[in-house]
């Protein structure tokens, strides 16, 4: 199964990209780096520049239906940039409309807020997003990982890099269920 990783050209928290990417490749699925611009993205270790990664697809040229699931890594600047890009927001919304699972960590739910897909959902995130999530109709919980099956799409969320092992285990399990058609 092809799994989209949506990131802005700059600002993704590197470990929140690389750890889930590794988890996906270990299952035999195919991660695809999608961004708003072609070329490379610049990852960060918090506020310091880290590695660059090649973009596989530009969000304007793909749709959610080409993938089996979506991963939204965090970093403060990454989701803030994505939420200002109409094509990125529409791409995210497309996964929910198609009933495909979505995994988001740390600040990534900011993009979900902008896509208006949180009404009636329960999720976790970096603590500073609590009010934004509530204002978007969601319920915020402080948990290592939270799986929400409300609505047509399963939403898997986590708070921070320290939660990555639990986050990766949870989304790998949920993505496999979705691929097999299990509920």
pLDDT of residue 129: 98
Is-contact 159 105, C-beta < 8 A?
yes
CATH number for 33:
3.40.50.880
The single residue of 106, 146, 148, 168 carrying the catalytic annotation is 106
Relative to beta strand 48-54, strand 40-45 is antiparallel
Is-contact 35 41, C-beta < 8 A?
yes
Q: Which residue range(s) make up the domain with 157?
A: 2-180
Per-residue pLDDT of the chain (183 residues; tens, 9 = 90+): 999 999 999 999 999 999 999 999 999 999 999 999 999 999 999 999 999 999 999 999 999 999 999 999 999 999 999 999 999 999 999 999 999 999 999 999 999 999 999 999 999 999 999 999 999 999 999 999 999 998 789 999 999 999 999 999 999 999 999 999 865
pLDDT of residue 70: 98
CA 74 from centre of chain: 8
Is-contact 114 89, C-beta < 8 A?
yes
Q: What is the pLDDT of residues 64-93, one digit of tens each?
A: 999 999 999 999 999 999 999 999 999 999
pLDDT of residue 152: 85
The single residue of 46, 107, 148, 168 carrying the catalytic annotation is 107
Q: Is 148 in the active site? A: no
In the chain, how many domains are there? 1
Q: Is 146 in the active site? A: no
Instruction: Look up the pTM and report it.
Output: 0.97
Is-contact 40 54, C-beta < 8 A?
yes
- Nearest CA to 77 out of 50, 116, 99 is that of 50
pLDDT of residue 26: 98
């Amino acid at each position: 199964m092809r799994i989209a990783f949506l990131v802005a050209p700059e600002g993704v928290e590197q470990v929140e990209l690389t750890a889930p990417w590794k988890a996906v490749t270990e299952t035999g699925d195919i991660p695809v780096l999608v961004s708003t611009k072609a070329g490379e993205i610049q990852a960060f270790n918090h506020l310091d520049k880290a590695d660059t990664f090649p973009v596989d697809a530009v969000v304007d040229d793909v749709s959610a239906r080409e993938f089996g699931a979506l991963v939204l890594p965090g970093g403060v600047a990454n989701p803030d940039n994505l939420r200002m890009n109409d094509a990125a927001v529409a791409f995210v919304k497309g996964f929910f409309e198609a009933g495909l699972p979505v995994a988001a960590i740390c600040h990534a739910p900011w993009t979900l807020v902008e896509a208006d897909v949180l009404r009636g959902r329960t999720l976790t995130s970096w603590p500073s997003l609590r009010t934004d999530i509530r204002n978007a109709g969601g319920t915020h919980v402080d948990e290592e990982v939270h799986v929400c099956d409300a609505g047509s799409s399963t939403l898997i969320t986590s708070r921070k890099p320290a939660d990555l092992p639990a986050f990766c285990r949870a989304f790998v399990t949920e993505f496999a269920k979705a691929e097999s058609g299990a509920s």
